[in-house]
Chain A
């Protein structure tokens, strides 16, 4: 079935089978491999992308269901070589170890800061509840989100 999706601001045409998942389309057809396949059942958040500006799980959405919609991935976050303040903050605060979960965390953080530019620690932990990190723990990640909030405001 022919569909069109706006990926990171660009119109893209695809011929998909109905059982194609959005995440597989992004990774395999567009080679946007930043969004990761983790658990596949909605627990880890590694596949988080924005659908019409909202954080959702790419592994839980049929590609065909995203028809005509705006999809934003980690690859669209930086402006060329210039990193987004959220990405800078994650690096500066050492909120990354193996990096597998990081694209998901960055996308969820972007959604959080758009809704709530100055979140408390509790609000950050609550919002990021659906993203798992198995290396660093969450202390540095919370710090990174706080630093990103400061950067975004100034």
Chain B
């Protein structure tokens, strides 16, 4: 553990602080300072990283003063969530609980109340941590993210937004403004499962599943896996196995075998070795499938 290697009581470096009040102003600052600037939203990752000197930046651009980035709105296409919406707001939103319970579950699983009162959903995605607990469920819900830059708005599927380890598809001068989470098909059951070192740790493995049943067989099916490869992953092969089949333990076993195959070992995996991740991703996936199917049955 590296907790005591550094003094976490101060931020040791000086930086210039900017708090733009509009998106265009933010874009201008981001373009001007480029790699010397970091965006501050909730700060629950950035500030500890700055204390530990993992991030030494000359400029901090606080985007919380920009209006319109903190919202949860019901639209025809789905739920629009602003980038700086706090995880606690998502957890407590009656709309999310009713329409997208998967996001409620995932938000609730992050850190403590104090962390969730600060941390934002956009920050969770833009950190591009493979273990981001909102990324796995948002991926399973076919989320589209909205990016703003000098050329205006751009949309990406969440899957293409994740570029690989620690990277998202944001060009210099661009920032994430929000996302549209489509409603899951009618009657869909959904479940999020996660395991970490402690109950409020970040995930060692997380899994999300969204499923509908038609005539007793799995119809719509999304399976996503987090913390096991450079970016949260949609496991297409497992979906193919499950789709059109009756939800039996035999089919589940076949599918989770393919999930475990997605675990791409990294040289320095501090939290758990690859074999642990393979085994626990299988166990978590079976739990997620079982819960999703039960829910879909109740809703049918």
Residues of B within 8 Å of A41, CB to CB, are 3, 8, 48, 51-52
From A17, A40, A56, A131, B48 is in contact (CB under 8 Å) with A40
Alpha-carbon separation in the docked complex, A1 to B62 (Å): 15
Chain B residues within 8 Å of chain A by Cβ, number: 33
Q: B1-42 interface mask toward A, CB cutoff 8 Å, 1 = contact, 0 = none?
A: 001000111111111110000000000000000000000100
From A51, A65, A129, B200 is in contact (CB under 8 Å) with A129
| Shortest beta-carbon distance from A4 to chain B in Å | 15
Contact B111 A130 (CB under 8 A): yes
From B3, B14, B117, B200, A19 is in contact (CB under 8 Å) with B14
Contact A17 B14 (CB under 8 A): yes
The verdict on A48 contacting chain B, using a C-beta distance below 8 Å, is yes
The verdict on B118 contacting chain A, using a C-beta distance below 8 Å, is yes
Residues of A within 8 Å of B88, CB to CB, are 54
The verdict on B115 contacting chain A, using a C-beta distance below 8 Å, is yes
The verdict on B113 contacting chain A, using a C-beta distance below 8 Å, is yes
Contact B43 A61 (CB under 8 A): yes
Contact B64 A60 (CB under 8 A): no
Q: B187-231 interface mask toward A, CB cutoff 8 Å, 1 = contact, 0 = none?
A: 000000000000110000000000000000000000000000000
| Shortest beta-carbon distance from A6 to chain B in Å | 18
The verdict on B60 contacting chain A, using a C-beta distance below 8 Å, is yes
Chain B binding surface, main DSSP class: loop
From B40, B62, B114, A45 is in contact (CB under 8 Å) with B114
Contact B51 A54 (CB under 8 A): no
Contact B11 A55 (CB under 8 A): no
Alpha-carbon separation in the docked complex, A42 to B118 (Å): 11
The verdict on A57 contacting chain B, using a C-beta distance below 8 Å, is yes
The verdict on A102 contacting chain B, using a C-beta distance below 8 Å, is no
The verdict on A108 contacting chain B, using a C-beta distance below 8 Å, is yes
Chain A binding surface, main DSSP class: mixed
Contact A108 B118 (CB under 8 A): no
| Shortest beta-carbon distance from A5 to chain B in Å | 15
Alpha-carbon separation in the docked complex, A59 to B115 (Å): 11
The verdict on A111 contacting chain B, using a C-beta distance below 8 Å, is yes
Alpha-carbon separation in the docked complex, A1 to B17 (Å): 9
Residues of B within 8 Å of A19, CB to CB, are 10-15, 50
Beyond A19-B15, A60-B115, list 5 extra A-B contacts (CB 8 Å).
Answer: A40-B8, A41-B3, A42-B112, A55-B114, A65-B40
Chain A positions within 8 Å of B, measured between CB atoms, are 1, 17-19, 21, 24, 37, 39-42, 45, 48, 51, 54-57, 59-62, 64-65, 108, 111-112, 127, 129-131
**Could you list 26 A-B pairs, sorted by A, with CB under 8 Å?**
A17-B14, A18-B14, A18-B15, A18-B16, A21-B11, A24-B9, A41-B51, A42-B44, A42-B48, A51-B117, A55-B114, A56-B118, A60-B44, A61-B47, A62-B62, A64-B17, A65-B62, A108-B114, A112-B113, A129-B112, A129-B113, A129-B199, A130-B114, A130-B115, A130-B200, A131-B112
